[in-house]
A = this chain, B = another copy of it.
Amino acid sequence: MYQVKSVDKLIGELNKLPGIGEKTAERLSFFILKNSRENVERLADSLREVKEKVRFCSVCGNITEDDPCRICKDETRDRATICVVEHPQDLFLLERVRQYRGLYHVLGGAISPLKGVGPEDVNIGSLLKRVKQGKVTEIILATDPNTEGEATAIYISKLISPHKVKVTRLAYGLPVGGDLEFADEVTLGEALKGRRDISS
């Protein structure tokens, strides 16, 4: 490496981040070396701060600085609908659509026997508790549209079925703005199955 201990250490630490290879870690380190001390302090501080301040909402499992989180506390939202997502990122993505006004539940992952993630490793228990309180009328399952997300959705829907709550799943279909040509067969099959009447 660079035989300057603290530089090599920084390169090593940056190299541990996802998508940051050794070359990128080196480039970032030299950028940091050139950067002002204040800027680097600010970055180091914000790394620490995020670990100190951010916790998971005790109600929905979303990341937050205050517990419960902003969305769970928001009295203007539809408290009868819960949208279930795998990760906090998914929640924020849905929020950007500005269409959904209900509450959320963040699982923190999907059930995956292959990866050794069982139902007890994701926040399903707390979801069931929310359902049992009796105020929820619809659960929207917005887990990822892949094998694990699908398996998680089926598992949750079966678990909730005795509770007389409507359980829905995000629609499968063609991505808007894409080409039919690039759609895979499974997606196309789902789009056909889920076709909607537009004649009226």
Contacts and interface: CB of A to CB of B under 8 A. Distances in A.
A37 B54 CA distance: 12
Nearest to A92: B2
Chain A interface SS verdict (over half): helix
A22 interface: no
A89 B30 contact: yes
B48 A44 contact: yes
A116 interface: no
Contacts of A88: 2, 30, 33
Interface in A126-152: none
Given A18-B27, A63-B33, A10 B46 contact: yes
B43 A14 contact: yes
Interface of A: 2-7, 9-10, 12-14, 16-20, 24, 26-33, 37, 39-54, 63-65, 70, 87-89, 92
9 contacts: A5-B53, A5-B65, A6-B49, A7-B63, A17-B31, A20-B28, A32-B50, A33-B63, A40-B48
